[in-house]
Amino acid sequence: MTSPRIVVFDLDGTLVDTAPDLIGALNYVLDREGLPPVPLHSARTMIGAGARKLIERGLEAEGRLASIDDITRLTSDFIDYYAAHIADASRPFEGLESALDDLQAQGFRFAVCTNKLEWLSKRLLEQLGLSARFSAICGADTFGVSKPDPAILHQTVARAGGQIASAIMVGDAGTDVGVARRAGVPVIGVEFGYTDVPIAELKPDRLIGHMRDLPAAVASLHFSL
């Protein structure tokens, strides 16, 4: 039996524009500490390494250092608030569902590999009506490793019922390119996500500026596998 072809997606900044709700939660905890809010446009590049790192970066932007215990407390407060507001303003990127329909019709299967917590990832996708599209939704806590450790990608693909040799990664940042390279998987970079280094500089195998271009990019990589 032929192994299914798997397209593995990052979540924040790739599938869904989650910045408004993530930065809203960040500003909630900053406000409780008596700190001013971080502007959304400048905070987008802080996203992508998990809640704890987002809070650390938010505090650094305000010129404040915090103890490990403080970061842990703020992270707990952040997650509580974010979980309650996870899809207030977060929306799939334009063209996503049409692209998934196209690829599904061609026999591709989908998975999510993110550094977000698994339960938060599932809650977000469920509230957006997207969770049923994915054969596996795996986060930083699912296997005890996070991107760019290749183990998380290997195990995500396995959970989706595929093999790494038939997988393609789609992401917006260095962790996504890094995990793909370490796992030996081709990678498509999206230009509309969250990264402090322009995705083009990371040299993904393909680069797209809109989700409508995803099926063609996947097809070009699939035929070269």
Catalogue the active-site residues.
10
Give dist(CA 208, CA 203) in Å, integer: 12
Give dist(CA 155, CA 153) in Å, integer: 5
- Both tokens of residue 212? 């409508």
- Distance, C-alpha 40 to centroid of its chain: 18
Order of strands across the sheet that contains 109-113: 136-138, 109-113, 6-9, 167-171, 187-190, 206-208
Which uninterrupted H or E stretch holds 92? Answer: strand 91-92
Give dist(CA 210, CA 192) in Å, integer: 8
